[in-house]
Amino acid sequence: MYDDESLLELDPVRLWPVTGGPTAERALRTRGRNTMNRLLRAGIVCFARKGFHGTRVDDIVKEAEASHGTFYLYFANKDELLEALARAVTAELTVLAGSLPKLEPTSTGRESLRAWLAEFADMYRLYRPILRVWTEAENDNNSFGQIGNTVFQALSSAFAEGARVAASPGVDPEVAGTALLALVERFTYFTATNQIRVDVPTSLDTLTSVILGSLFPPGD
Amino acid sequence: MYDDESLLELDPVRLWPVTGGPTAERALRTRGRNTMNRLLRAGIVCFARKGFHGTRVDDIVKEAEASHGTFYLYFANKDELLEALARAVTAELTVLAGSLPKLEPTSTGRESLRAWLAEFADMYRLYRPILRVWTEAENDNNSFGQIGNTVFQALSSAFAEGARVAASPGVDPEVAGTALLALVERFTYFTATNQIRVDVPTSLDTLTSVILGSLFPPGD
Amino acid sequence: MYDDESLLELDPVRLWPVTGGPTAERALRTRGRNTMNRLLRAGIVCFARKGFHGTRVDDIVKEAEASHGTFYLYFANKDELLEALARAVTAELTVLAGSLPKLEPTSTGRESLRAWLAEFADMYRLYRPILRVWTEAENDNNSFGQIGNTVFQALSSAFAEGARVAASPGVDPEVAGTALLALVERFTYFTATNQIRVDVPTSLDTLTSVILGSLFPPGD
Amino acid sequence: MYDDESLLELDPVRLWPVTGGPTAERALRTRGRNTMNRLLRAGIVCFARKGFHGTRVDDIVKEAEASHGTFYLYFANKDELLEALARAVTAELTVLAGSLPKLEPTSTGRESLRAWLAEFADMYRLYRPILRVWTEAENDNNSFGQIGNTVFQALSSAFAEGARVAASPGVDPEVAGTALLALVERFTYFTATNQIRVDVPTSLDTLTSVILGSLFPPGD
DNA sequence: AATGAATGAGTCTTCATTCAT
DNA sequence: AATGAATGAAGACTCATTCAT
């Protein structure tokens, strides 16, 4: 279901320091920081395996090779661990949104868009378990909804900007931007989850084509 | 978050005899059928409110104005209630997939696609709580994943067929079909959840334009 | 430490219905009422044995021959069980306070006071575990303090009334009333806990003498 | 509830070398002695605030501005800290018991009793949190009960001695002594806890009058 | 002598499911 | 067919105590 190997790509530095939990007051020393990182990574692994509700604090603790009590030294509860992870993902994706290149029907534009989509797909694959769990937990704790909106706005606006430049007549750029985000997100999801069997280059090509094709009709 | 009023549109008949639970073997009299319907609808309402894991059998039972024990007279467990609901949705969506009109850049084609998308959006809005919960439960019980695949295949193939007719050079119809499904599904999601504020006609126009625009470049 | 046998004197009727917990909404049938009574009595027994903090919900449940979950069907938690018991005691003691006879240095007055003190002592012995635990829990939950004040006021006022009649010069009746209550309460406590070894008649005689003696100097 | 200011009156020296914990064997240097004192006082403050069971070692340690591990350098556990405090109180009260003046209906006797009661009240106010907590802990560890008995005996005997001198006919001096102790203790408790609103002089006068009045009927 | 981190046994509490009427 | 009561396994969380530095 989830390819644990890809977790190796996880850069611990990215995930820290993102919490405001019990540790907010304490200054962590090296040992503590290390433990916290182990817990964060264990969280990702476990959530990926069993989802949010399916994961027991016990699972996380075992994975992190820590004791039960230690967990609560760093996070008030499971929710807070997820929140820390979500915050990390949010930060990353917001940065990515800022780096969306100018959309234009030149070969340079094509290349850079394709590269960006590749990066998006990589990150998506990496953070999918978190995103997935995030949705799952949204019901319990609506602070998650807030975090998500930020990312949605950032990405949506970036695409809207591209659509504005293309200026297709009769199409609201904001709406078109959202449509493109929808396309990219879900298509990436379908490929990442193997719902469609397609090799990476083909999927990137198709996505690039559909995006630019819909914004800049080749006949122009 | 979820517009409870829209549940009034739910046709109980649609949700009915789709289960295979404890009742599969016995014939339900009028009273029993009525109770079962109440439970099914209560399930939707509760799942919509609190998600799958957040919903207690107790909540469902209260909403249905039935007693605790009664629930287990009709469903072996909570999963099975969801499964019944999911099956109903699946059936509906599969039918809808079959009715996707021929995609063509004529005004008739445009009209019929727009109408289909409107219907899809309606149904999506109606069944969103179920779809949502379905995703949530996927981790526990992978029989749900199977049901989802059926729908995915049906819809994806329908769009692929459209893409095949358009036959854009250098684009695999299957992949393009999936891309279109991705676009339609997620864009509808964004509008249904009000993540983007847009009136229904505009959203339908945009969606129609983007789909046909990407398949049939107007300059041809 | 605590003489379990005396619990046999406990009249279940007295202890019921005193709660406002989870059962507040439900109407209890015979079976439920029975269970609740078993839990209440088990509470007294266990609190008597191990004190409030020392008692585990598990202990209570075992004593009541009920299951763990059942407890929470009737009480939200341990505190609430104690509160129910405290309320019962309060009610009883308030009634008793109302029945304090007129204090007068006649042989009738002497007899009726002695009888009242005997009743007080009996009740004290019976409810001591609850009173004890009550004090213990006061720190956690200050609603207990309120309940206690009621009883204190009732008893204190009753004695003050007696002191007022005696009208010793230069002594505030309210203060004297409190002093008498103090005397009665703590002396009863000392005898009930065997801190002083004295037979019941002697202790009653002494108490009666000290009270009347201090209010009505025999030389008058 | 408890007037923290009065803790300022606490003389650290009084609380000191009464323990027999981990430190019993080692000689404490100035620094260690200071730390220990901080812990003892922190214990009083915390116990006063939250009671014995409600107080966490963590609370004490924070109040004392020491680290978690330090606590166990001085006390084997929480019980032992309380025991140290209880021992200190016991010592003080025993001394006080020894200083109870001769009870006699003269103005000198009256004065000296009143002065003693004033001192008792002061001490009671000061040590109430400890006494309180002591009762609370009695359930867990019956060594506490022993300590209490010593004090009870000392005070009770002192009053019995007074009663013996008065030699009221038909009243056992031992029992009467206990009754007087009961009166004094609980009345002081009621005033210390503001359960009765009365100024200090009045309460002392009343108490003195009641005691002497009951021992020496003025009409004699 | 002091400290921050770690530990894990011990409890409370929830809730899906079964039972007796 | 329906219901209120009972059950107990499963999990979250706390906190006294120990450990390594």
- Closest residue (Cα, C1') to F13: A72
D80 CA vs E4 C1’ separation (Å): 24
The reply to whether D11 falls in a domain is yes
User: In angstroms, how far is CA B143 from the centroid of its own chain?
Assistant: 17
Q: Is the pLDDT of residue D24 over 70?
A: no
Residue B220 lies in a domain: no
Q: How far is CA B167 from the centre of its chain?
A: 29
- Nucleotide nearest B78 (Cα, C1'): E16
Q: Do C71 and C39 meet the contact criterion of CB atoms below 8 Å apart?
A: yes
Count other C-beta atoms under 10 Å from residue D192's C-beta. Answer: 19
* Segment C11-23, tens digit of pLDDT: 555 555 455 566 6
SS3 A27: coil
Is the minimum CB–CB distance between D206 and chain C shorter than 8 Å? yes
The number of residues in chain A equals 220
Angle between helices C107-137 and C78-98 (to 10 degrees): 170
Residue-level pLDDT, tens digit, chain B, 220 residues: 344 444 444 555 455 544 445 555 455 566 667 888 899 999 999 998 888 998 999 999 999 999 999 999 999 999 999 988 988 888 889 999 999 999 988 999 999 999 999 999 999 988 888 888 888 887 665 667 677 788 888 999 999 998 888 766 667 888 889 989 999 999 999 898 888 888 999 999 989 988 888 888 665 4
Q: What is the CATH number of the domain that holds D51?
A: 1.10.10.60
CB contact under 8 A, B53 and A50: no
Separation CA A29–CA A17 (nearest Å): 13
Q: Residue C30, Cβ neighbours under 10 Å: how many? A: 7
Domain count for chain D, please give it: 2
Q: List alpha helices for chain C, DSSP H.
A: 12-15, 30-54, 57-63, 68-74, 78-98, 107-137, 143-166, 173-192, 200-215
Q: Nucleotides of chain F within 7 Å of a protein C-beta? A: 1-20
pLDDT digits (tens, 9 = 90+) for A182-216: 999 999 998 888 888 889 999 999 899 888 888 88
Chain A touching partners, 3 or more CB pairs below 8 A = B
Asked if A51's CB is within 8 angstroms of B140's CB, the reply is: yes
Contact check, Cβ <8 Å, C206/D156: no
D163/chain C closest Cα distance in angstroms: 12
Q: Are residues A18 and A90 in the same domain?
A: no
Nearest chain B residue to A178 by CA: give it: B187
- Residue A220 placed within a domain: no
Asked if C53 and C101 sit in the same domain, the reply is no
CA of D77, C1' of F18: distance in angstroms: 12
* pLDDT value, residue A121: 94
Instruction: Give pLDDT tens digits for D197-211.
Output: 889 999 999 899 888
Residue A182 lies in a domain: yes
My answer on whether A115 and A144 are in the same domain is yes
* Cα atoms in the 13 Å half-sphere on the side-chain side of C177: 25
Among the three residues B45, B61, B78, which one is the final residue of a domain in this structure?
Answer: B78
Q: Which of A54, A78, A102 is the last residue of a domain?
A: A78
Residue B58, exposed/middle/buried by CB under 10 A (0-12, 13-18, 19+)?
A: exposed
> Do B53 and B131 sit in the same domain of this protein?
no
Q: Does B210 touch chain A (CB under 8 A)?
A: yes
* Co-location of B106 and B125 in the same domain: yes
Could you tell me if residue C220 is inside a domain?
A: no
Q: Which residues of A touch B133 (CB under 8 A)?
A: none
Neighbours of chain C (3+ CB pairs under 8 A): D
Q: Distance (Å, rounded) from C-alpha D95 to C-alpha C17?
A: 50
Q: How far is CA C157 from the centre of its chain?
A: 17
When CB atoms are compared, the residue of C139, C156, C168 closest to D54 is C139
The protein residue nearest nucleotide F3, judged by CA to C1', is: B67
Q: pLDDT band for position A66 (50/70/90)?
A: very high
A170 to chain B: closest CA residue: B206
Min Cα distance B200 → chain A (Å) is 11
Task: Return the pLDDT at B125.
Answer: 87
Sign of the CA dihedral running C72, C78, C79, C83? positive
Residue A6: pLDDT over 80:
no
Higher pLDDT: D22 or C145? It is C145
What is the per-residue pLDDT across C45-55, written as a single tens digit (0 to 9) for each? Answer: 999 888 899 99
Looking at per-residue pLDDT, the higher value among D7 and D158 belongs to D158
CATH number at residue C107: 1.10.357.10
A179 and B187 within 8 Å at the Cβ level: the answer is yes
Nearest-CA residue of chain A relative to B211? A214
**Does residue A69 lie in a domain region?**
yes
Suggest the residue from A151, A186, A203, A220 to mutate for an interface test with chain B (most B CBs closer than 10 A).
Answer: A186
Answer whether C208 touches D (CB < 8 Å).
no
The C-alpha of D166 sits at a distance from chain C's nearest C-alpha, in angstroms, of 13
Contacts of C155 in chain D (CB under 8 A): none
C11 CB neighbour count, 10 Å cutoff: 9
B109 inside domain: yes
| Residue C131 shares a structural domain with residue C155 | yes
CA distance A70 to A68: 5
Q: Per mean pLDDT, which range of A3-12, A105-114, C140-149, D100-109 is the poorest?
A: A3-12
Based on the fold, state whether residues B136 and B61 are members of the same structural domain.
no
CB D68 within 7 Å, strand F: yes
To the nearest 10 degrees (0 to 180), the angle between helices B173-192 and A200-215 is 60
By Cβ distance, the residue of A53, A179, A220 closest to B219 is A220
User: Do A42 and A98 share a domain, yes or no?
Assistant: no
CA Rg value for chain A: 19
- Asked if A139 and B54 come within 8 Å (Cβ–Cβ), the reply is yes
Indicate whether B118 and B165 sit together in one domain: yes
Q: Which nucleotide is nearest to C58 (CA to C1')?
A: E11
Q: For chain B, list the contacting chains (3+ Cβ pairs, <8 Å).
A: A
- Residue A45 domain flag: yes
pLDDT tier at A27, thresholds 50, 70, 90: low
* B141/B63 same-domain check: no
DSSP summary character for residue C102: P
Alpha carbon distance C24, C16 (integer Å): 13
Q: Which one of A21, A52, A78 terminates a domain?
A: A78
**Shortest CB distance from C207 goes to which of D179, D185, D210?**
D179
Domain match, A132 and A211 both: yes
Structure token pair of residue C59: 């202990």
> How far is residue B110's CA from residue A162's CA, in Å, rounded to a whole number?
25
Q: How confident is the model at residue C1 (pLDDT cuts 50, 70, 90)?
A: very low
Contact between chains at A202 and B175 (C-beta distance less than 8 A): yes
Q: Which of residues 149-188 of A touch B (CB under 8 A)?
A: 149, 152, 156, 168, 170-172, 174-176, 178-179, 181-183, 185-187
- Do both A74 and A86 map to the same domain? no
Q: For B88-111, how does the pLDDT look when each residue is reduced to its tens digit (9 = 90+)? A: 888 889 999 999 999 988 999 999
In sequence order, the 6+-apart residues with CB closer than 8 A to the CB of C130 are C44, C47, C82, C85, C86, C89
Q: Contact C195/D149 with Cβ under 8 angstroms?
A: yes
> If phi over 0 gives left and psi between -120 and 50 gives alpha, with beta otherwise, what is residue A69?
alpha
Indicate contact of D with C: 3+ CB pairs under 8 A: yes
Query: Domain range spanning residue B31?
Result: 4-78
Alpha-carbon distance of C54 to C31, in angstroms, equals 29
